[in-house]
Amino acid sequence: MAKRTQRKKLVDKLDKVFSVYIRRRYAKNDIAECFTCGKKDHWKKLQNGHFQSRKHYSTRFNEQNCQVQCAGCNVFRYGEQYKFSKNLDNTYYSGLAEELHIEANKTVKLDNTDLEMLIEKYEMLIKELDT
């Protein structure tokens, strides 16, 4: 039982650190913009929206799959999947949304070491944003 508890704590910590990074990476003066509707607000008031659901570990921590979203788009409008996909293709490259959809259906098992390494990576990237 201890291993499962440790893993859950690692996943929870990674979710938190990764979310902070996603919401802050493009923020200017702490103001970020919703990827799907353009609403601007303090990054702490916005959310880390996933194009492909968080249940898919193969894309859960993918930086392109995750974008800043307001609660209206992410929760109340179920992620605005259509707008999200169009914006992904326009922002990065045509076909990305389809690639993420395919990638999401692959099985990926992150062990505790993988999770710890990702936590360290995103903590470091957040520190770089502070400088």
The answer to the question of residue 131 being in a domain is no
CA-to-CA dists, residue 47 to 107, 115, 119, angstroms: 26, 21, 19
The token pair at 95 is 């076909």
| Mean pLDDT computed over every residue of the chain | 96
State the residue range of the domain holding 107: 2-113
Check pLDDT > 70 for residue 2.
no
The answer to the question of residue 129 being in a domain is no
The answer to the question of residue 22 being in a domain is yes
Answer whether 46's CB lies under 8 Å from 68's CB.
yes
Please state, in angstroms and rounded to a whole number, the distance separating the CA atoms of residues 105 and 59: 9
Among the listed ranges 3-12, 24-33, 44-53, 80-89, which one has the minimum average pLDDT value? 3-12
The answer to the question of residue 7 being in a domain is yes
The answer to the question of residue 108 being in a domain is yes
The token pair at 106 is 């692959």
Which residue in 98, 114, 104 sits closest to 54, CA to CA? 104
CA dihedral 51, 23, 75, 100 (to 10 degrees): 0
Residue 7 burial (C-beta neighbours within 10 Å; 0-12, 13-18, 19+): middle
At 131 the pLDDT is 82
Q: What is the pTM of this model?
A: 0.93
The predicted model gives 118-130 an average pLDDT of 97
Q: Are strands 47-50 and 31-33 parallel, antiparallel or unpaired?
A: unpaired
Domain count, the chain: 1
The answer to the question of residue 125 being in a domain is no
Q: What digits encode the pLDDT tens for the residues 62-81?
A: 999 999 999 999 999 999 99
At 3 the pLDDT is 65
